[in-house]
Amino acid sequence: MLSGKTALVTGSTSGIGLGIARALAEQGANIVFNGFGDAQQIEKLRIDVGDAYGVQTAYHNADMSKPDEIEAMMAFASAKFGGVDILINNAGIQHVANVEDFPAEKWDAIIAINLSSAFHTTRLALPGMRQKNWGRIINLASVHGLVGSAGKSAYVAAKHGLVGLTKVTALENAQTGITCNAICPGWVLTPLVQKQVDDRAAREGLSNDEARRALLLEKQPSGEFVTPDELGALAVFFCSPAGAQVRGVAWNMDGGWAAQ
Per CB under 6 A, residues contacting ligand NAD are 11, 13-17, 34-37, 63-65, 90-93, 113-114, 140, 142, 185, 187-188, 190-193
| Residue 160: CB minimum distance to ligand NAD, A | 12
10 versus 27: smaller Cβ distance to ligand NAD: 10
| Residue 25: CB minimum distance to ligand NAD, A | 16
| Residue 113: CB minimum distance to ligand NAD, A | 5
Asked if 155 is an active-site residue, the reply is yes
For residue 159, which of 139, 180, 144 has the smallest C-alpha distance?
144
83 versus 185: smaller Cβ distance to ligand NAD: 185
Cβ atoms of residues 68 and 62 within 8 Å:
no
Of 33, 81, 155, 238, the catalytic one is 155
Residue 240 DSSP label: S
| Geometric angle at alpha carbon 197, from 195 and 199, rounded to 5° | 70
78 versus 196: smaller Cβ distance to ligand NAD: 196
Q: How many CB atoms lie within 10 A of CB 179?
A: 24
Characterize 40-69 residue by residue with b for buried, 16 or more Cβ atoms within 10 angstroms of its Cβ, and e for exposed.
Answer: eebeebbeebbeebebebbbbebbbbebeb
Residues known to be catalytic: 155
